[in-house]
Amino acid sequence: MQKRKLGNSNLEVSAIGLGCMGMSFSYGPPADKGEMLSTFSTSTALTRTCQLRK
């Protein structure tokens, strides 16, 4: 998995991320709050799974 340095810190993040602007801006009314939280929960669970499989 490709990583990128975060700002001036020593922290690294995945080059692929979850873009969330569309959940609250620009694409019509916001989605259901429960649905958005489920999306976050699923994405973080998948990220942990990918990192563990390295």
6-48, pLDDT tens digit by residue?
888 888 877 777 666 667 777 777 778 898 888 888 887 876 6
What pLDDT, on a 0 to 100 scale, did the predictor assign at position 23?
73
pTM exceeds 0.95: no
Give the residue among 36, 47, 41, 42 at the shortest CA–CA distance from 13: 47
Give the residue among 26, 25, 48, 23 at the shortest CA–CA distance from 34: 23
